[in-house]
Every structure is written in structure tokens, then in C-alpha cells.
Chain A
Amino acid sequence: QVQLQESGPGLVKPSETLSLTCTVSGGTISGLDWSWIRQPPGKGLEWIGYILKSGTTNYNPSLKSRVTISVDTSKNQFSLKLRSVTAADTAMYYCAQSGGFGWFENWGQGTLVTVSS
């Protein structure tokens, strides 16, 4: 079973870049598809974007101008960068394996990122 673990700073200042990494074990990162999802406190789930095994990326239009998802095959990791953050970006961030056509079949435990000065 594929296992995922998010890592990165828990506190980011407004206007800076949020950077998170997801380390994958139990599977080869280049052979699978990957997503980032977030959940603001007290709110529902929001899909941020994905990167396919082909390298193709697709982002939520509401975040597209600020988001980059990339893969580092040498480390079996994929990453999220969200630029110019505001308090509205405060959320639990999850990395996930996208199964098949678009569901999320394996999730990391999540990491809470707070945007505050």
C-alpha cells in the first residue's frame, strides 16, 4: 500500500510562498498520479491540483495563478508551492494519490499551515 507523508513549515507569513513536500513510500512516484487537497478550519475540502504520471498538471482555476505542483523522482517526492499567501490560505493541507480517473485512494495525514505575521 502506498503511504504518503506531508512535510513543511507550519507557519508562513502573508505574501510569502507556502512550500510543502509529500514523501511517497510503497510505490514509485513516476508511475502514479498525485494531488493536493486542503481544508480550511471549519470548512470543507478543496482540490488544489494534480500532476499526472505523464507530467501533465492541472490546477483549480481559483488558485491557478499562484500554484505549482512538481515531482522529484530521485527523492520519490512531490511538492506544492503556493505563492503570495494570505490568511485565507490557512488550512490543513493533504497530499493524495489520485486513483484511476480522479478519486483519491490514499491520503497523507495532513499538515496544518497557518498564514500569519
Chain B
Amino acid sequence: DIVMTQSPDSLAVSLGERATINCKSSQSVLYNSNNKNFLAWYQHKPGQPPKLLIYWASTRESGVPDRFSGSGSGTDFTLTISSLQAEDVAVYYCQQYYSTLWTFGQGTKVEIK
């Protein structure tokens, strides 16, 4: 299994400030034949289903605000919210789809300081 480990487990950020979430995979999720990282990010708010934010580690899903960005390659990835808004309070998950067993990170809770 590819184990996905996120850090931190939770963070509190002031409105308008940057929030950074890290995700580390136990093995590389970079597929050499197409040079793509098989990693996605989701936002999960209480009472709602998770929402896809980013796939291929850095491709923003249609309609997702550009304050959300993904970066990284191989085993180390980052989700950045450049200017935190009140509506961004949620739990964020990374997910790898490189192996035949798709796995999620444990989640990072983002709150307002």
C-alpha cells in the first residue's frame, strides 16, 4: 500500500494569510512514462461531500478559485491557499491514484485564527 501522510493535522491561519498543507507518500507517485504525479487534493466541509480541488498534483479543477494551488513531485506535495477566506474552513485530503489501491491522507483541518 502507498501510505499518504499529511502535515500538520490541523492549522489555524488568519484571514487573508497563506495556508500550507503538506502530503508525503511512502513511495513515488510520479509515473515516468507521462511525467505526471498521480495525486489529487480535496476539500471536505461538514455536512457536504468532499470536493475535488486539484488533480495531477497541480491541475486545478474547473471552478476552483485560483487561490488554491498544488505543487510537488515524486513523494512530497503541497496544497497552498494563498489568501485564506472564511469559506475555506474545512478538512483537506490528499489522495494517490498511482497504485491499484487508491489511498487518502489522514486529513488536515484548517481553521481561522
Task: Give A contacts to B, CB under 8 Å.
Answer: 44-47, 58, 60-61, 94, 96, 99-105, 107-110
Contacts and interface: CB of A to CB of B under 8 A. Distances in A.
A103 B95 contact: yes
Nearest to B4: A44
A49 to B, nearest CB: 9
B38 A104 contact: no
Interface residues of B, number: 22
B105 interface: yes
Contact of A61 (B40, B95, B97, B101): B101
Interface string B29-68: 0000000001010101000111110010000010000000
A110 B49 CA distance: 7
Nearest to B39: A103
Given A47-B95, A103-B40, A104-B95, 10 more contacts: A44-B93, A44-B105, A45-B104, A47-B104, A101-B97, A103-B52, A103-B95, A104-B40, A104-B42, A104-B52
B75 to A, nearest CB: 17
B97 A45 contact: no
Nearest to B106: A44
A96 B51 CA distance: 11
